[in-house]
Amino acid sequence: MPGFAYEPAMFKQVMSGRAVSKDPVGTPDSPVVVVAADPYYAQNVADEVAHRLGIPTGNASTLTDFSAAGPSSIAASAGDLADVALRRRVRRSAHVAWVRSARHGNQREEAESLAVLSTAADAIIEFDPSDDGGVSESVDGVLRSLADKPGALSPLVDEQQMVFGDGRRTDIVVGHGVIDRLKDFVHSGCRKVAIVTQAGIDVTVDCGVEQRVFEVPPGESAKRLDVVGDLASRFAQWGMTRADMVVAVGGGVVTDLGGFAAASYHRGIPVVHVATTLLGQIDAAIGGKCGVNLPEGKNLVGAFWQPRAVLCEIEALDTLPTREFTAGMGELAKYHFLGGGHLDRLTLTPRVARSAAIKADVVTGDEREVGRRAILNYGHTLAHALETAGHYDLRHGEAVGIGLIYAAELAHRLGRINAERVAEHRKVVRGYGLSTEIPDGYDLDLLVDLFARDKKALTGITFVLDGPNGVETVPVDDNTALRETLDAVI
């Protein structure tokens, strides 16, 4: 039977201290780092944590040398953790608690801070800035997060498996250091592995057999038929056979190109995706879709070719440019409305794992997108039109964030959802540091024309819209409504 096998690792949920009546943990054996957007608030929480645990209070200068810190409570800011090497050292040697305001609509970190804090945090503690007991509740939350840790500074690794009706399987492994598992997925008899990647991706892989790197150009504009043809020619010149395999190392562009090249070469050879971007880990690398763009539209030529495995290396997100990290949040925002709930209350590894689980569950039930899988395109109809019309100036996730708002406004106009649900969409998207408006310079009539070229369109324009039965596909034949709704997102 096809299905989705998933034994979730312990998700580190957002902590709340309201029900805590006493300190739930003894003296820690490593530093506790309290990080907040407001340095004064972080210091107040860190001071109280130190008082409750009977440990000294440190300062941000001790982050560079934990050997001298010992058990202590340290207040820090996103800026203190901006250096990648330092952030990794802190993450491995301390418990990092991100204390965050619950009022995302009024107070949200700049995109750079959001990326730093997301990749650093072991726990997220929300507080209400209007509550006089906020510091005390935040301290309770920090202490609970210490008590709920799965082990002494042990990294969280989540493993899932997609199982299809004909016996094919895709393993999905999420966490720090999972790239070391790559050799496990190189099949016996494989002699050569083609590493498809891009310049600037600072990730080294070891497949355990002869391997060679094949670089593709950067950016969405690289998703062209001639690039796939060039890859196949280079595979042939190297002497690859149908017994060999491809490993795609990078983001969505790389997994699309590597996957399509693998699906086409010798009519199909195995592929493993090592996803190094947030967007790739929660969406592009999972599900077997791979393909290229045409001048007429996005992803119009491609295949369904399931990878043997998807390795989501969380460590790689540390070095991801801020804009790329934030763009990935657009796909994360989508999962809030596909059963993900409050994903923003999870730390990064379980957040990625939860999003991957949602997609895996949908795909195993509808691999070829003849039905329910289309809901994964929530927010994508306008997004693809924006990408095509703007020649991919917008990152995919940035376009999806705007597309989610447009889809919500359209659903409201059609009487499917109320204004409060639209406001929820706006809050989620803004909370991830994304724009909710179409940038200047777009021809709005052209965007409506491009809707009909979307790959979901069969007999007319089809949108994925929220409604009383949840998110579902809806035919929309009212071009006036489509055009006028664009005014709500400019």
Phi and psi at residue 151, to the nearest 5°: 175, 170
490 residues of the chain, pLDDT tens digit each: 456 554 444 333 443 333 333 444 567 778 999 998 888 999 999 999 999 999 999 878 888 876 655 789 999 999 999 999 999 999 888 999 999 887 654 334 567 788 898 999 999 998 877 766 689 999 999 999 888 765 444 457 899 999 998 999 999 999 999 999 999 999 999 999 999 999 999 899 999 999 999 999 999 999 999 999 999 999 999 999 999 999 999 999 999 999 999 999 999 999 999 999 999 999 999 999 999 999 988 899 999 999 999 999 999 999 998 899 999 999 999 999 999 988 888 999 999 999 999 999 999 999 998 899 999 999 999 999 999 999 888 999 999 999 999 999 999 999 999 999 999 999 999 988 899 999 999 999 999 999 987 766 656 789 999 999 999 999 999 999 999 999 999 9
Annotation marks residue 359 as catalytic:
yes
Q: Residue 40 and residue 387: Cα distance in Å, rounded?
A: 42
Tell me whether residue 267 is one of the annotated catalytic residues: yes
Question: Which position among 100, 380, 412, 425 bears the catalytic label?
Answer: 380
Q: So where are the chain's domains? A: 32-147, 157-320, 369-489
* CATH class for the domain made up of 157-320: alpha beta
Under DSSP, the state recorded for 156 is P
| Assigned fold of 369-489 | Dehydroquinate synthase-like, alpha domain (1.20.1090)
Residue with tokens 């039905």: 371
- Return contacts of 421-424, CB within 8 angstroms, 24+ apart: 421/466
Can 373 be counted among the known catalytic residues?
Answer: yes
**What's the pLDDT at 68?**
59
Would you say 403 and 381 are in contact if contact means Cβ atoms under 8 Å apart?
Answer: yes
Which residues partner with 463 through β-bridges? 474
Separation CA 34–CA 426 (nearest Å): 29
Of 377, 395, 412, 430, which is the active-site residue? Answer: 377
Please choose, from the candidates 125, 98, 170, the residue with its C-alpha nearest in 3D space to the C-alpha of residue 18: 125
Annotated catalytic residue 187: no
Please tell me which residue in 48, 331, 398, 409 is annotated as part of the active site. 331
Q: Is 51 a catalytic residue?
A: no
Q: How far is it, in rounded angstroms, from Cα 58 to Cα 476?
A: 59
106 is catalytic: no
Q: Is 59 in the active site?
A: no
Fold match between domain 32-147 and domain 157-320: yes
Q: Is 29 helix (H, G, I), strand (E, B) or coil?
A: coil
Q: How crowded is residue 442: how many other Cβ atoms within 10 Å of its Cβ?
A: 16
Angle at 448 between CA 442 and CA 449, to 5 degrees: 105
- The architecture (CATH level 2) of 32-147 comes to 3-Layer(aba) Sandwich (3.40)
Annotated catalytic residue, options 289, 308, 354, 425: 289
Q: What would the two tokens of residue 384 be? A: 């693809």
CA distance 323 to 288: 26
Which one of the listed residues 126, 315, 369, 398 is annotated catalytic?
Answer: 369
Q: Is the four-CA dihedral 118, 435, 460, 417 of positive or negative sign?
A: positive
DSSP H helices, 121-224, are: 134-147
How far is Cα 47 from Cα 351, in angstroms, rounded to an integer? 29
Given 373, 395, 425, 430, the catalytic residue: 373
Judge contact between 162 and 169, C-beta under 8 A: yes
> Which H helix or E strand runs over 10?
none
Q: How many other CB atoms are found less than 10 A from the CB of residue 296?
A: 9
Q: Which of 100, 176, 359, 455 is catalytic?
A: 359
**Residue 293, token pair as written in the block:** 């763009």
User: Residue 193: which region, alpha, beta or left (left: phi > 0; alpha: psi -120 to 50)?
Assistant: beta
Q: Indicate if 384 belongs to the active site.
A: yes
pLDDT of res. 341: 87
**DSSP letters spanning 228-297:** HHHHHHHHHHHT--TT-EEEEEESHHHHHHHHHHHHHGGG---EEEEE-SHHIIIIITSSSEEEEEETTE
CB proximity list for 19: less than 8 A, separation 6 or greater: none
According to the model, what pLDDT value does residue 9 have? 41
104 as an active site residue: the answer is no
345 is catalytic: no
Token pair 């008899």 is found at 189
User: Is the CB of residue 90 less than 8 Å from the CB of residue 60?
Assistant: no
